[in-house]
Structure 1
């Protein structure tokens, strides 16, 4: 068995992958940053019948496989659901493995950590369940589960502990801003394009305080929108204009940074709440002294968006490119709103 552990799980006090690694004689635990872990795993030789244990609904259920279909080596990802998906995304070799899944019929017992649903299992529980299907003759697996349950029970019975019961998150909790339950006319969604920096030189880009060249925004209810092209030497570059999908004729409408700042301030209302895609977008407003109110960074909101959320964005005008980017942000926020209702 090979356990691929997300680096943020390594020092968690109730890391069950560490317990599994210490308890099983043929178990290897690899932990690193995603890129380095991918490189390390790429060089690892696996069995021809190795399989990835992953809750893919299209994967066969492990307990339903015949003896000759059973994998003889398991690869297990250890981390939160979000972390597991980033490892799956960043490690190409995982895509070459057959997937197998479990079908738990009872809730997981990891009650001191919050799981995405009641049947989600800890790494230890998933490993034991998988091995019971692959190696039913192996004795002692129940002892591993018993030790795990005692650890959970001891922790929950300790009144001095601040570990909470594993309860389903209430809608509107987690880190979804409560402002989304309010008036959509007061929610402003914005996206900005910036001047190009030196390619690959992030430190230089930070020092440059790159200026916005295009800024667009809309109120969530669609009642009002904002669009502004800002004067910049970068707009003289045809390649840059093509990258932003801005036509040459539009450049004549570009305004000064001061004029943009005044227009943007006029568009905003005192009780608005501003949402941007990431902190670097908010920094564009800071760079030209147009940060008239705090902004909420969508990238900092931890939530799994449906895979098809942006599938019907093709009808959005792609010229300029920012229109589609803004439409995607609006879809994200409307999805967040739906989770708070």
Structure 2
């Protein structure tokens, strides 16, 4: 059977031919935007909070379940307002009046998810709310909305910022990126209409990605350490601190520590267990790109635990090619969420012995063990 595996952008999570990242502008907004995103939206292919995050210079996304928002200490500023539509004129709700707020809080999720988050989170319940009155229906034609006037996250955020800071240029360009995503998807859907085959659901074959059935020689498990957020530079300069990979069937391994544009604090190097690596031992970005492209073969599948790992590599070397994200499989198992350590514990998987001393070596050994576990499970179905 001919493979339908697609190369995917791990920033917008769309197939490369539908990637819209280049159309997203950088907007210097004055109001800090805090997006509270339900975890189910995080990797949704049509989620529009990504446009908000990558387009606005002052934007933070916090991801969690309803319980996380209800019990956590959210970074809510004293002068924050909540952007949240009301079904009716609920008594006791305060609406924002007066000077522009310093922070705009946006809830990203389905109508039910957003309603539950606001209901259960005490930090949000007392905030004044910014009321929107959409003049025209939303343009989110690829996801069903509760009413014609319902807006996507990016539409609502742009409308709110346009009211709070009308002098800020570039806000409308965020909607152009959104429209480009919607139009491209609608065109693709139209081309496929009538030719798509409906496949029965519930079978184990569909629980596990096809990549797990490939020869182990084609599966390259990788892990990279990212620079701390306080040290991050521009996206064009961002790269892994170190990058490790291992082919699953043989002892073919890859290991590089990269030069950083900003010197890492000693405590960070201690945490990554890299304090013994001298600067002259580090590779340049060009050297890393050349070595990695030599190591990863055209037919290989890159296997990572978290999509952020693939994003980190993509920002350093460009498109990653075929990629398997192990965390996406965990959502169909008892280990639906959690760190790599927690997933191994829940599934009863023993981590392999690391082949090096750093934190990345230990994380890679766990990822290899998890990939091997899923390969065995897939073959038992």
Please tell me the TM-score bracket, short chain as reference: 0.3 to 0.5
Q: Which has the higher contact order (CA 8 A, sep 6+)?
A: 2
TM-score with structure 1 setting the length: 0.47
